[in-house]
Amino acid sequence: MRRALLTSCQFVTVLLAAPLVAQDPHGNMTSMEQVGTVHFASSCHPAVTPEFDRAVTLLHSFEFGASIRSFQAVLATDSTCAMAQWGIALSRWTNPMAAGQRTATVLEPGRQAAMQATRLGVTATDRERDYIAAVNQLYADYEHRDQRSRVVAYEQAMAALAANQPADTEAQIFYALSLVAAALPTDKSYANQLKAGKILEALWAKQPNHPGLAHYIIHSYDYPPLAAQAMAAANRYAAMAPTAAHALHMPSHTFTRIGLWQQSVNTNRRSIKVAIHDSAFAEALHASDYAEYAYLQMRHDGAAHRVLASLPAIAVNFSPDAITGAAPGSAGVFALAAIPARYALERRQWTEAAALPTHTTAYPYADALTYFARALGASHTNNLAVAHASVDSLAAIRERLIAGGDAYWAEQAAIQRLSAQAWIGLAEGRRDDALTLMRDAALREDATEKGAITPGPLAPARELLGDMYLQLGRPTEALAEYQQTLTKEPNRFRALYGAMHAAIAAGNKPLAKKYAAQIVTLTGSSAYTRR
């Protein structure tokens, strides 16, 4: 038997990958790894079981660089372990929630690992071969098959595996995750997400220290109507796996959806510290974007500026192609564009927004953020040449995204372009055209969802429509738009601020008082409620 080929040394020695670090309750670093508890049964040699379980545990927290190293450590002891190659292939797919198209630089190493798993799988179990066949779907003929088709094929393969192996809890968990990853952003029934959440919650009751369960529950309910259902997982996950930077960041997805800004800041600050220590710079940038958004909602502009000022020190070591934590390189590029744009727009510093420096990267949807901010800033300062040029750039970016098969981000660029065109129209005195364009942008944004890569749009389309109505002296209509914004973006400062002023202008004193009280609670100051 192939297991007998292992040397006596290999029976007792497993080469461990470098452990991560954790923080104690006071934020001090400790070398003790704490990532939760997972057991994944495999036919690999028993000597590698602890390391294999560790690798899968890291994978469940999307610590992809660490999980790859850990699976490689398994192979160093048992070179015939097909499931270690499966784990490497799944790790190289990186974050399944990332909406952007993956490049050949990412896909080819993953495909090679998946193919190697298939070659080794001749001596694996039928169950293991089903896992391997499923992961191959993510990479199969990627040169010609679009990413959406491959993601759906993977979800279908995992559905069959979960049905055939009802006692395999790991199969159920990975299937649930595949359901969320395959869900369309236009499906407002949230059927996939609710189905996944039901599977995961039932298992979490039996395995409360399993990091994947808490993690994927948060992802399953990372939508405005569902977010409250993730609070238990959000409150538990960071404590369960304080070693993992992403486990520290992930609760902020729920906190953002509910508008718990200080909680978001607290957990993201811890995440940034661990991510930088682990050289997971994309993860640090991603958490910084969430922290920036939260600080700006509370009007902690000084703290927000410190996040902005920290970017060069993180970016100098950042490589978009590196596989480290949960955040892919694209998330780091996105954050580097989003944070300065947020800092200008949330503070309504229009001149600052219009002057943001532009960049051309491998991720045009990140580049679009800067042009959108420039267009809004230039429109509000009557710098129409810059505004029109920025809209032209958004149009070109949208075409690039369409050509690359990236329908989701192409639609986001279209929404940004419509919003920018609307404000140019208003600046040029074309009021009816401006409102028509802004309403169209709002309807299209309603029909989609924000990506996991971002805490929220730079400026929600309905909020911008409310701003436009208010500027045109139509406060009742403005108020309705701000209120609708708050159903999707609760406790958002600009929407509350606009709603308060719209209520005042409409003569609705009780409602104005209500929003003023919420602003005081949010910011800790009455300065923003004075007329």
pLDDT at 4 over 50: no
336-349 average pLDDT score? 98
Q: Is residue 408 part of a domain?
A: yes
pLDDT at 448 over 80: yes
111 within 8 A of 135, measured Cβ to Cβ: no
pLDDT of residue 7: 39
For the chain, the distance separating the N- and C-terminal CA atoms, rounded to the nearest angstrom, is 82
What pTM, to 2 d.p., does this model score? Answer: 0.91
Is 234 in the same domain as 251? no
Residue corresponding to tokens 């200008």: 344
Is 248 in the same domain as 238? no
pLDDT of residue 8: 34
Is 390 in the same domain as 523? no
**Could you list the residue range(s) of the whole structural domain that residue 446 is in?**
348-459
pLDDT of residue 23: 52
pLDDT tens sequence across 204-219: 999 999 999 999 999 9
Which of the listed residues 343, 360, 376 is the one where a domain comes to its end?
Answer: 343
pLDDT at 164 over 90: yes
Is 176 in the same domain as 297? no
The count of structural domains within the chain is 4
If you write DSSP's letter for every residue of 457-472 in order, what string do you get? -SS-HHHHHHHHHHHT
Q: Is residue 224 part of a domain?
A: yes
Q: What is the CATH number of the domain that holds 176?
A: 1.25.40.10
pLDDT at 26 over 60: no
Confidence of residue 248 (pLDDT cuts 50, 70, 90): very high
pLDDT of residue 5: 36
499-509 average pLDDT score? 97
Pull the structure tokens for residue 322. Answer: 């590196």
Which of the listed residues 205, 224, 242 is the one where a domain comes to its end?
Answer: 242
The torsion angles phi and psi of 287, rounded to 5 degrees, stand at: -65, -35
pLDDT of residue 325: 86
pLDDT of residue 76: 97
Is 333 in the same domain as 359? no
Which of the listed residues 420, 438, 459 is the one where a domain comes to its end?
Answer: 459
Count Cβ atoms below 10 Å from residue 285 Cβ, excluding itself.
26
Collapsed DSSP state (helix, strand, coil) of residue 29: strand
pLDDT at 421 over 60: yes
251-273 average pLDDT score? 97
Q: Is residue 17 part of a domain?
A: no
505-525 average pLDDT score? 97
Q: Is residue 334 part of a domain?
A: yes
The torsion angles phi and psi of 50, rounded to 5 degrees, stand at: -60, -40
d(CA 10, CA 65): 24
pLDDT tens sequence across 92-135: 999 999 877 898 988 999 999 999 999 999 999 999 999 999 99
Is 485 in the same domain as 363? no
Region of poorest pLDDT, from 14-28, 83-97, 204-218, 450-464: 14-28
468-485 average pLDDT score? 98
Is 508 in the same domain as 472? yes
R_g (Cα) of the chain, nearest Å = 24
Residue corresponding to tokens 């230039």: 378
* Residue 515: C-alpha distances to residues 194, 313, 460, 520 (Å): 33, 39, 19, 9
Region of poorest pLDDT, from 32-41, 117-126, 190-199: 32-41
d(CA 286, CA 263): 16
- Partnered with residue 30 across adjacent β-strands are 22
d(CA 139, CA 143): 9
pLDDT of residue 322: 86
Confidence of residue 467 (pLDDT cuts 50, 70, 90): very high
Of all residues in the chain, what percent carry a pLDDT higher than 90?
89
pLDDT at 56 over 80: yes
Is 189 in the same domain as 315? no
Confidence of residue 13 (pLDDT cuts 50, 70, 90): very low
pLDDT at 517 over 50: yes
pLDDT of residue 249: 97
Pull the structure tokens for residue 77. Answer: 């002891």
Confidence of residue 3 (pLDDT cuts 50, 70, 90): very low
Is 163 in the same domain as 237? yes
Confidence of residue 243 (pLDDT cuts 50, 70, 90): confident
Is 282 in the same domain as 419? no
Q: Is residue 20 part of a domain?
A: no
Q: What is the CATH number of the domain that holds 306?
A: 1.25.40
Is 396 in the same domain as 499? no
pLDDT of residue 177: 98
pLDDT at 6 over 60: no
pLDDT of residue 29: 46
Q: Give one word for 272, left, alpha or beta, with left for phi > 0 and alpha for psi -120 to 50.
A: alpha
Confidence of residue 31 (pLDDT cuts 50, 70, 90): low
Is 388 in the same domain as 303? no
Average pLDDT of the chain, as a whole number: 93
pLDDT tens sequence across 319-330: 998 888 888 899
